[in-house]
């Protein structure tokens, strides 16, 4: 066999072995089986496999569903009842009602933060300690003229300032880019924007009061 051909065969075998080693070391990707057993088994098979009746499974699900929810709400969809309105008629109704109540024009919502007490976390405990030295989640809420929640952000630890929660929220970004319309009213804890009114720290004129 010519020497050149032999060298090509040797190199080809070395490459083949390297590829085989890499394939052997590569972890096989695993996919979760998302098949719902309640959809594929009848009552008899379900009991034989899992030792629970169908009604018992539904009962346990109702008892445990809150504890089984993901710890992060990153992909959790906010129910429509808590979403800031986009319907012009609803926004106009808010403006009219707020004006009738307080003679304040153009207001569509009130925003503030409220601390919801929690048990002392095991990890990063210090970031959940608020100004009152209690452990909490600082929840940002927007209410309409009826006191109904129309926007909620409930993921920030108690140490977080209200202004930062607003700055990082989707509500703020959509107000800035014009996706959402309206004018919000808040307290001293927030900066003043074209879409967010805050009180004067030291009012001097009748208009400022």
Phi, psi of 197 (to 5 degrees): -100, 135
| pTM, rounded to two decimals | 0.59
pLDDT tens for residues 21-71? Answer: 555 555 555 555 556 777 777 888 877 777 778 888 888 877 777 666 655
Per-residue pLDDT of the chain (209 residues; tens, 9 = 90+): 455 545 555 556 656 666 665 555 555 555 555 567 777 778 888 777 777 788 888 888 777 776 666 555 554 555 555 688 888 898 999 999 999 988 888 999 999 999 999 988 888 899 999 999 999 999 999 999 888 899 999 989 999 999 999 999 999 999 999 999 999 999 988 999 999 999 888 878 877 76
């Amino acid at each position: 066999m010519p020497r050149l051909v032999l060298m090509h065969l040797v190199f080809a075998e070395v490459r083949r072995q390297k590829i085989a080693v890499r394939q052997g070391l590569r972890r096989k990707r695993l996919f979760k089986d998302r098949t719902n057993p309640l959809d594929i088994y009848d009552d008899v098979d379900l009991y034989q496999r899992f030792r629970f009746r169908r009604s018992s499974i539904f009962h346990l699900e109702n008892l445990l569903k809150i504890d089984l929810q993901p710890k992060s709400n990153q992909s959790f969809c906010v129910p429509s009842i808590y979403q800031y309105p986009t319907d012009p008629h609803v926004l106009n109704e808010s403006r009219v009602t707020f004006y009738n109540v307080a003679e304040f024009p153009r207001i569509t919502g009130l925003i503030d933060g409220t601390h919801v007490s929690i048990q002392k976390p095991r990890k990063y405990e210090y970031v959940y300690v608020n100004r009152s030295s209690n452990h909490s989640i600082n929840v940002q809420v927007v209410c309409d003229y009826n006191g109904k929640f129309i926007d909620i952000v409930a993921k920030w630890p108690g140490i977080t300032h209200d202004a930062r929660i607003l700055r990082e929220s989707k509500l703020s970004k959509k107000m800035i880019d014009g996706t959402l319309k309206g004018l919000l009213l808040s307290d001293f804890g927030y900066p003043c924007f074209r879409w967010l009114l805050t009180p004067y720290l030291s009012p001097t004129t009748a208009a400022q009061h």
